[in-house]
Structure 1
Amino acid sequence: MKAAIAGIAASALTLCISTSAVFATDLRMTVWTGSEAHLKMLNGIAESFKATHPDVNVKFETVPVNDYTQKLTFQIAGGNAPDIAWMMEDAAPAFENANLLMDLAPTLKAAEGYDFDDFSKPAMGLWQKDETVYGIPFSTSPFMIYYNKDMFDKAGLEDPLTIAAKGEWNMDKFQEVSKKLAETNPGKWGFEFKDGEGYASRMTHALLPPIRAYGGDIWSNKECGFDKPEAVKAVKQLHDMVFKDKSIVPPGEQGDYFSGNSAMTVNQISRASKMAEAGFKWGIAPLPTGPGGESPVIGQAGLVVFAQGKNTEIAAEFVAHMTNKENVATMAQFFPPARKSVLQADAFINGNKLVPPEMMKNVAAAIEKGRVVSANEKAPQILAAMAPRVDALWKPDADVDAAIKGICAAIQPLL
């Protein structure tokens, strides 16, 4: 009898194990990081999901960043869409408008203790339309001014952080100090565009911050904004700084802020990792303001679930888990968050070993108040159409007004 009972118990255990194996769910999530530290953190979050979903396994699949969106598109077209994906801000509109993304709102708002309203509304602008939520930003990185304090000291100038604290860091002051920095550091520059680019590439990253400071935008509501008065003033000021003041690194030249050849640049918080090797004192300050007031610019990456995936409900529940307060705080060590409670926490303000708390407070404020870089589902075609018109702008004797009108004439049909 005992042997029979033992046999039945063993059979039941085998059946449970077999049933568990049959009903186990494997979620596939694409990312563009291969960082060991990033993947260790992500796998830790996936493991913690097992507390409520013991039969769910999450596999992170690294796709190189340079062809990430293209490969993701091919996977979807081939019927092999991942369950979850990281998505770049410039790709989001195309996927949203093609109805490829699941509405996460019901799942997120039903998740216990999730507190959806904790996310900064401006930071959600790209991912939410009315009550529909297409994605949740996991990395919200503001554009900031990096400055070489040694060069400011040599020029006898207050640094941008100090000027900003006095409420005087605006586009006019930016032009003034850039010119003096170039004059007092022969052979060097006052400012360079993001990553030393901005002419043939990163055109929008070069033009967008000053245009927004003046109260304009490069495009919005399917209308070109380059030829609006606010944008024209901003572009003309940049043109003067390049060719009259000779304070911005011009086309064809290399400034390289990180090597000490430019006093300022604009970049995101992740670039602070390069400053550990800098041979000069440095700091981070907000973008200059202008007639349009404070206009922080943020770049983003979001978490999305594909509507045609095989495990949409469980995938949405994992996104809710991954972006709850606890896990957003965990990810904040690598990815600036969009949750207001995490941004305001001491752990975030004091958690960056390279950036002092007074600078991190400005980073947090820029995230909470910032607007995402302008995106469009036809962004690649728009940038290709812009290129020759923008190239005509960056000439010493350019007809700036005509060049700006040319930009709008080229891109308006695509908007």
Structure 2
Amino acid sequence: MKGARTGIIASTLALCLMSGAALAQELRVTVWTGSEAHLKMLNGIAEPFIAKHPGVTVKFETVPVADYTQKLTFQVAGGNPPDAAWMMEDAAPAFENAGLLMDIGPTVKAAEGYDFADFSQPAMALWQNGETVYGIPFSTSPFMIYYNKDMFDKAGLEDPLALAAKGEWDMKKFQEVSKKLVEANPGKWAFEFKDGEGYASRMTHAVLPPIRAYGGEMWADGQCGFDKPEAVAAVQQLHDMVFKDKTIVPPGEQGDYFSGNSAMTVNQISRASKMPEAGFKWGIAPLPTGPGGEAPVIGQAALVVFEQGKNKQLAADLVAQMTTKENVAIMAQFFPPARKSVLESDAFINSNKLVPADQMKSIAAAIVNGRVHPAHEKVPQIFAAMAPKMDALWKPDANVEEALKGVCAAIQPLL
């Protein structure tokens, strides 16, 4: 009898251990931020989910933005995808059409109090096909001009926000003030492309805002737009600023706006988290307008779940938790929301302690009026084909029009 009881106890312990092993799950969520403020916020949002799921942990894995999509692709191709991930808008069609993303629609729509209809339809366009939902946008963030007010003051210039308020902040003024900025601030640059990667991983982010300001587009409806007059004029201005005016950080040089070496850069509101370390007065303003009028550019990112993931249903539940109204409102301090109720609230305008309300209003207006960076199911191939042609463009003696024709010749078969 004693032996029987011992056997029952041993079996029970084994079952408990097996149950505990089954419950011990780590959800891997890949992101491209290494910001301490961002990661603290994300971990705080995940805490209630962890509390509801004993034995579950959530790990936010940082992959540098310059290598992000490529490394994510390698992980998926190697059969080791994260459970969930941030995904950039330009990569979405390729992953969706390859069947790599889970339909998380049933999960989020069934979540208590979720209110899926609160997401704006334009914001969901890239992430939804009929009833199938491939991702939930957590950031619909317009590109904005970050400026160093100290450098503008030293040059005796009105800053971009003040110029925008007067209706004078356009591409012509952008070039004019850039010349004056470098004259008044020797050894500094007037402008740095996004993340200092305008000649590499951010090559489209460098040229897209001015191309749209001139009334053009990189590509649309299966047709390349780089060789159109509007795009040629826009890129020619940039080329002149790099090599003739010497106001834009050239290839091979480091501008680093955030260290005070450039007077302006383009980025999104999430980068405000870096500004307390900057050591100078700063502000945020809209992109310069141009012959094509106002043309805000929106960078979008969504949370997705991979079809091959080991814990995909649990990961879908996590995405639902992270994108509730309450959590979207928390993330709005760094990542402008796609939820209409949050975007339209006073809480959003006052959500970021680093950015004054009048500047947050500019961000909200840009979200409403902006267009997302062009996407395509063959974006990885398009970027690979573009790279050597764009390298040829950024030479002092380059013929801009011919170089852009070369870009179109390279990517048109893929479009």
Is TM > 0.5 for Structure 1 vs Structure 2?
yes
RMSD over equivalenced CA pairs, Å? 3.3
Per-residue CA distance 1:218-242 (angstroms, 9 max, x = gap): 1233322211222122112222222
Note if contact 1:122-1:371 (Cα within 8 Å) is conserved in structure 2. no
1:285 Cα offset (Å): 0.4
Q: Corresponding residue for 2:267? A: 267
What's the offset of the Cα at 1:406?
0.6
What's the offset of the Cα at 1:96? 0.5
- 1:241 is matched with 241
What displacement does 1:253 show? 3.6
- Partners of 1:104 and 1:316 within 8 A in 2: yes
- Would you say the 8 A contact 1:145–1:284 is kept in 2? yes
Distance 1:133 1:295, change over 3 A: farther
Structure 2 matches for 1:226-375, cutoff 5 A? 226-309=226-309, 312-375=312-375
Secondary structure at 2:126's aligned position in 1? coil
State the one-letter code of the partner of 1:29: R
Q: Which residue number corresponds to residue 108 of structure 2?
A: 108
User: Could you tell me how far 1:257 is from its partner in structure 2?
Assistant: 2.6
Matched AA of 2:29: T
SS in 1 for 2:172: helix
Structure 1 residue 94: Cα displacement: 1.7
Give the stretch that moved more between structures: 36-45 or 390-399.
36-45
**1:401, distance to aligned residue in structure 2 (A):** 1.2
CA displacement, residues 43-82 of structure 1 (integer Å, 9 cap, x when unaligned): 544443478x656835335253365545544554454544
Q: Structure 2: which 5+ runs fail to align?
A: 1-11
Match of 1:57?
A: 56
1:328 CA displacement: 1.1
Equivalent residue number for residue 136 of structure 1: 136
Question: Partners of 2:251 and 2:70 in 1: how far apart?
Answer: 29
Give the secondary structure class of the aligned counterpart of 1:145: strand
Are residue 194 (structure 1) and residue 194 (structure 2) matched? yes
Amino acid of the structure 2 residue aligned with 1:347:
A
Distance 1:245 1:301, change over 3 A: same
2: CA distance, partners of 1:92 / 1:363: 24
- The answer (yes or no) to whether the contact 1:123–1:368 under 8 Å persists in 2 is no
Q: Could you tell me which amino acid in structure 1 is paired with residue 358 of structure 2?
A: E
Stretch of structure 1 that moved more, 303-312 or 208-217: 303-312
| Partner residue, 1:6 | none
Deviation string for 1:339-383 (max 9, x for gaps)?
232233333322323222221222233234333323334434333
Give the fraction of aligned pairs with identical amino acids, expressed as a percent. Answer: 76
1:388 aligned residue: 388
Does structure 1 retain, via aligned residues, the 8 Å contact 2:35–2:273?
A: no
Amino acid of the structure 1 residue aligned with 2:381 = Q
Are residues 1:31 and 2:42 paired?
no
Does the CA-based 8 Å contact 2:157-2:177 persist in structure 1? yes
Contact 2:50 2:57 in 1 (8 A): no
- Please say if 1:154 is aligned against 2:162: no
Residue 216 of structure 1 aligns to a residue whose secondary structure is: coil
Q: Which amino acid aligns with 2:137?
A: P
Instruction: State the alpha-carbon separation in 2 of the partners of residues 406 and 75 from structure 1.
Output: 33
Distance 1:166 1:342 in 2: 29
Q: 33-42 vs 301-310, which deviates more?
A: 33-42
Report the CA distance shift for 1:199/1:340 in structure 2 as closer, same or farther (over 3 A).
same
Separation (CA, whole Å) in 2 of partners of 1:209 and 1:79: 37
- Is the 2:91–2:380 Cα contact (8 Å) retained in structure 1? no
Structure 2 Cα separation of the partners of residues 25 and 94 of structure 1: 33
Q: What residue number does 1:400 align with?
A: 400
Normalization by structure 2: what TM-score?
0.83
Give the whole-Å Cα distance in 2 for the aligned partners of 1:155 and 1:312: 55
Report if aligned partners of 1:27, 1:83 keep a CA contact under 8 Å in 2. no
Q: For 1:86-125, list aligned pairs within 5 A.
A: 86-125=86-125
Looking at structure 2, the residues matched to 186 and 19 of structure 1 have their Cα atoms a distance apart, in angstroms, of 68
8 Å CA contact 2:171–2:289 kept in 1: the answer is yes
Match of 1:9 in 2: none
User: Which stretch shows the higher mean deviation, 200-209 or 332-341?
Assistant: 332-341
Distance 1:42 1:149, change over 3 A: closer
> C-alpha separation between the residues in 2 aligned to 1:153 and 1:367?
29
Separation in structure 1 between the aligned mates of residue 34 and residue 155 of structure 2, nearest angstrom: 42
The total of aligned residue pairs comes to 403
- Shift, 1:213, TM fit: 1.6
Do the aligned partners of 1:119 and 1:340 also contact (CA within 8 Å) in 2? Answer: yes
CA contact (8 A) 1:199 1:391 kept: yes
1:242 and 1:214 map into 2 onto residues whose CA distance is: 18
1:233/1:318 CA distance change after superposition, 3 Å: same
Shift of 1:252: 3.7
Bigger CA drift: 33-42 or 208-217?
33-42
Aligned-partner residue type, residue 96 of structure 1: E
Q: State how far apart, in whole Å, the 2-side matches of 1:390 and 1:149 are.
A: 32
How far, CA to CA, are the matches of 2:265 and 2:62 in structure 1?
Answer: 29
The Cα of 1:309 is off from its aligned counterpart by 4.1
Contact 2:102-2:306 at 8 Å conserved across structures: yes
